[in-house]
Amino acid sequence: MFKGSYTALITPIRGDFVDESAFVKFVNWQIEEGTHGLVPVGTTGESPTLSHEEHVHVVGLCVREARGRIPVIAGTGSNSTAEAIRLGQQVKDAGADALLIVCPYYNKPSQEGLYQHFKAINDAVDLPQFIYNIPGRSAVDMSVETMARLFELRNIFGVKDATADLSRIGLQNQAMGSNFIQFSGEDSTALGFNIHGGLGCISVTANIAPAACAQFQNACLDGDWLLARTIHDRLMPLHHALFIEPNPAPVKYAASLLGLCTPETRLPIVPVSDSVRVEIRKVMVKAKLLSK
């Protein structure tokens, strides 16, 4: 159930509000293009600047439009354990299939603190849960040993790994076995990640190239590494361009070129600069997403 190309969904904004109409159309387009799963309200969905009400509402919209056609993994992380539990319970009520929970940021808990945080959520919310390990944003790196302890719990299913350390996949496979589901959190290393034993990617690029990203992951799952590399090489300039400036401003601008939404973001994220706009258009043409 949990494998392949999962899109880390953008949240369309118009003025001061979530653009519900654009979001609904976007979810349906993703499914039509072959995306394997949807991840609303992660960092790419601007979770830090959505209110709690908006957060749960966006997940509900996503679930209703998906209509069970593909899984929905809702972002519910927080550096407050109580808040993460509350969000998890609310999106469970909204119909989410699973939770994506980032390691607590800013307060930098110990490994025991990380274990107790995730255990508390595991005990309180009966849904499959994925650890989001991204030291570059959270300032804390969950160890393989802590992850192995957590995998003994009922609801911990796997990890979204954004450590950029491909050796971690093998170490985590050795510690937890093949039933521990490993998603890459980085499009640019997704090929190597899957070769080492990963089962997919929670992808930013899939917002604007869902069909190609799904084809890439299908090739990986089928063991067709030549086709996978061909697609990966075609998309690599796009993977790079979408992170020249802070996410999700570049991917929102790219989505606006496809008529999917406005390029608007919420502060402190600002729209991309003119030079980056030029680069994004250029790589989209090269990737055959735009004609000129």
Long-range contacts of 172-177 (CB under 8 A, 24+ apart): 172/144, 172/147, 173/197, 175/144, 175/145, 175/147, 175/148, 176/147, 176/148, 176/151
pLDDT of residue 239: 98
Q: Hey, where are the domains in the chain?
A: 4-222
pLDDT of residue 135: 95
Q: CA dist 42 to 50, 59, 287, Å?
A: 10, 10, 25
pLDDT of residue 112: 98
Return d(Cα 111, Cα 146) in angstroms, integer. 6
Given a contact cutoff of 8 angstroms between Cβ atoms, the answer to whether 174 and 197 are in contact is: no
Q: CA dist 14 to 21, 24, 99, 187, Å?
A: 10, 14, 27, 27
For every residue of 68-121, DSSP letters joined together read TSS-BEEE---SSHHHHHHHHHHHHHHT-SEEEEEPPPSS---HHHHHHHHHHH
Give yes or no: 160 in active site: yes
* Triad 4, 39, 236: Cα angle to 5°: 55
Determine which one of 3, 92, 160, 252 is catalytic: 160
CATH superfamily of 4-222: Aldolase class I (3.20.20.70)
Determine which one of 6, 132, 252, 253 is catalytic: 132
Which residues does the chain have with pLDDT short of 70?
A: none
Q: CA dist 267 to 12, 249, 257, Å?
A: 14, 11, 21
Helix segments in the chain, DSSP class H:
20-32, 52-66, 81-94, 111-124, 135-138, 144-151, 167-176, 190-195, 210-222, 225-241, 249-257, 274-286
Give the list of residues 6+ apart from residue 226 with CB closer than 8 angstroms, or none: none
pLDDT of residue 292: 80
Give yes or no: 132 in active site: yes
Give the list of residues 6+ apart from residue 165 with CB closer than 8 angstroms, or none: none
